[in-house]
Amino acid sequence: MERINKLLARAGVASRRGADELIRAGRVTVNGSVVVELGTRVDPAHDALKVDGRRVHLETGSRVYLMLHKPREVVTTLSDPQGRPTIVDYLHGVRGRVFPLGRLDFLSEGLLLLTNDGDWAQALMHPSSHVEKAYRVKVRGIPSPQTLAKLSQGIRLEGRRTAPAEFKLARGGSHAWLEVTLREGRNNQIRRMLEAVRHPVFRLKRVSIGKVGLGQLPAGRLRHLTTTELKLLKGAPRDAARRRN
């Protein structure tokens, strides 16, 4: 007997956390009954596990690890009820189902990882991993050194302080470009932090995850991760743990 979220991750349907979200939404059934408890266990050899009415098969073939340069005004989901462009529009030639690791909001762009390896995704993107993600951000006006220091130390958002981060001035002008590094991933965190100090974001681009960078990959283009990049990412949670200790 295995937990459903682990089975869905192994089948490449979603990460374990994403699988829990599917269960909460009532989209997962076992033998025709909707699953209501996150910790439910099933027998994969005998129980009929389905998501959105489609049977989940555990034989998924080889693992796939991809890098996409997500353009602006594209939704980081596999479908969108509003009919907006989604990342699926950029997955031409990809066989089987893959899912994104985390999200970039509709107006943000840059590095997005995709895979069908749920266990790897869980290890890399779990909040406890604290894997660094770097961004280039254009904001209104020019934040003062004191404001950048305040953001780096952490501010309160919705009653909870953000983790220490790095906010650095990269280029001045009438509107500044910042280099931002986060070790946590709250929803729209950078935009909300900068809005809180009255420097709203004009443009936001993720340029690296761990030690793997977007490089010169054009917007809208997709490629497989190299062996070296995959090793760097698989070691990223361990590197982050050593830094904390």
With CA atoms as reference, report the closest residue to 165 among 152, 176, 175, 178.
Answer: 152
Q: 105 an active-site residue? A: yes
Q: Are 12 and 96 in contact (CB under 8 A)?
A: yes
Measured distance CA(212)–CA(225) in Å, rounded = 9
Strands (E), the chain: 2-3, 28-30, 33-34, 41-42, 49-51, 54-55, 65-70, 99-100, 109-115, 133-139, 156-157, 160-161, 166-171, 177-182, 201-209, 212-213, 222-224
227-244 vs 118-125: helix crossing angle, rounded to 10 = 40
Q: Residue 35 corresponds to which tokens in the numbers above?
A: 């699953």
Q: Determine how β-strand 133-139 pairs with β-strand 201-209.
A: antiparallel
105, 117, 119, 239: the active-site residue? 105
Q: How far apart are the first and last CA of the chain?
A: 36
- What are the residue numbers of the active site? 105
